[in-house]
Structure 1
Amino acid sequence: MKLSVRLRLTLLYSGIFFIAGLLVLGVSFLIVRGILDDTRLRLQAAPEFLPSHAVLEPSGKVVLVKVSKRDVLNAQQNYEQATMTRFLLQAGLVVVLLGALATIAGWVVSGRVLKPLYQVTDTARRVAHGHNLAERIAYAGSNHDVKDLADTFDLMLARLAHAFDVQQRFIANASHELRTPLAINRTLVDVALRRPDATPDAQRLGESLLVVNTRHERLIDGLLALAESDRPVLERHQPVDLSEVASHVVDHAGEEADAKSIVLHQALAPAPSKGDPVLLERLAQNLVENAIRHNFQGGEVWVTTRLSDGEAELSVANSGPVVPAYDLETIFEPFRRLRADRVRSDRGTGLGLSIVRATARAHGGTVVAEPREEGGLTVTVRLKLAPAPVLREDDFGD
């Protein structure tokens, strides 16, 4: 069981009080016990008969009657037992009552002491779940350790927000600066290939340049997508059904699958999640394209969406060559392929699964790859479920 800091402090306060109370009760018990023992010792040293009982005679004279020391000692022993029993009961009751009051006071005091820390925790939780880096704690209390923690956390949020802004601007600028020259090169090569006086050698050279240019465009797109997906989803957090995303991706992948005579199987059950629709579509597209390109001629691909263990799940399996289990982690690293030459461009840039993992992590999800006994892979993405809609009275009508 997980105990909160407030409860731990309360238990510590009450525990210390009860221990101190029991120590005081024990010391008091010994003191009273010693006083009574001294009285008994004095009685034991007295004569056999003690003039300890006054009697009023009919004549009006008061006479002291001697009582046996044994009777006095017995009476003293009964008195001591009754006194100590009453003392322990009353003192124990006082300790219990004061301990209960100390527990309540400890709960209240610890709550007031930890209130600034709870404020820091709540703000951190809202930033982590809501992805709003503009929010600050702005603690205005007295200058102590908790205020130092709050100010440090605000400084960290400010630096993170600045870093994300710089990254976003860099991605936008890089997207424009890198794609524009490649688009110009492609246009110039196309124009040169369409010239009537273009020789066969020039046409072959132009076609090779177009292949290289296309590969560079795909590489840049992959790098930009990886940079865009390898950060938490901030403002584009909205409900997305993975079944709809997968269906759209499968429909657009039909032409590439037909070129290799690959059969696409779909089992798309509702799988509501939340996140950026564009990034999630790119995730599903990379999985399906990877399953088609790393497949046999006439192979098969299975695309499945469902709810599993409280999470939305997208699974893409494909036939193909047998993948060793020790190579599974390698395929998620950028520019790494299994038994593929880096120069080849027909199987992509080696960033597909890297983008998948980065996108899943940015959405708080996970990616797992498992080899199939018949060959090929099964890649499964699990994301958090979309929150249930909040119903208001207006939603029910009259």
Structure 2
Amino acid sequence: MGLISRMSGTRVRLRLTLLYGVLFLLSGAVLLTITYLLVGQSGSNVALSTHTTSSAGDQSVSVILGEALPADSRLTDAERRIAEVVQEQAVQQHAATMHQLLVKSGVALGVMSVIAVVLGWLVAGRVLRPLRTMTATIQLISARNVHERLAVTGPRDEVKSLADTVDGLLGRLESALESHKRFVANAAHELRTPLTLEHALLEESVLDTDATAEGFRAQFKELMVVSDQQARLLESLLVLATSERGLDRRESVDLSGLTGDVLQAAEPKARHHDLAVDAEVMPARVTGDPVLVARMVANLVDNALSYNVAGGRVEVATGTEDGRAFLSVANTGPLVPPESVELLLSPFERLDRAAADDGHHGLGLSIVDSIAAAHSADLTLCARPTGGLRIRVLFPGEESTVLVPVL
């Protein structure tokens, strides 16, 4: 792993070096071309003068490189030949000078290209050094030391921003791992309790030599109750894991119809606890998984019925608000401290731990929270001043629904 990482880092450094070298070579070639053209242009406009002597006195003949000699009747044939020789020599000298300029500039460009590659290799190593340090540190981080951070110091640049982003990711991973550990520990505790009770009942039946058929029947009924509790717990854990994984089904769901079915199924429980149910179910459609949405409604209604007081009330409403469907469930009940409201969304959290044998395992609202997150819905909990909770789920509009997996 370390060798592969070093080879990958070397390849990146080599690519950066080649990039620096090619850029320098191209820039030098362009600069050499511009210089060559400017020098060549200025050399072609150089004027030379030659002096000749005649019977009329001294004469001066101006010769301009690249131009023909002027037709001047005052020049004799000998003077013209001399001017042509001078012009030819000047042209040859200019060509030799341009050739030397080209050769020496090319040699200088080649030498500087080599130097640029060496400097590019060193600069690339210096630029990649913080990344190599970050990579080495990240490779040493595991579940045992996920609390460690890169903690890169220095000015706010791209490397610092990358390090801070990685630190934020590690922080979220640490929180997720801690939450996972707590969930596993709580689940093991919740499963251990009924298993211990089952073992005690079975042991009592085996050791009791005077047990009668009626006694066995009573103990078997207790075992069936414990088994049902375990089945409900496992089903809740399965729903929670499914909702946290994301949505497999996406279709238009009639929220009001699902709520009406849940309320109809909950009527016997409401009558048993002497609870009044006020329902204001208005048409509302959401996009999502019908099974999960139905489970969300059932959990909210069951929570409102279970944690209530004798003669209390449950208020259920559905409808639309600014094009967004909503579900609202409120109940009377014991006072809930405002600081404890958010804790109820955590798995296995109950305000009254002594009520652990009531068939509830503290997973109802955590499942609701997970399903709401899977549907990109806003879930709000509010403690009522007179007791009980008001829970509201606001779904996104069907045209703007974005369904994403939940981490």
TM-score range, shorter chain: 0.3 to 0.5
So what's the TM-score if we normalise by structure 1?
Answer: 0.46
So what's the TM-score if we normalise by structure 2?
Answer: 0.45
Choose 1 or 2 for highest CA Rg.
2
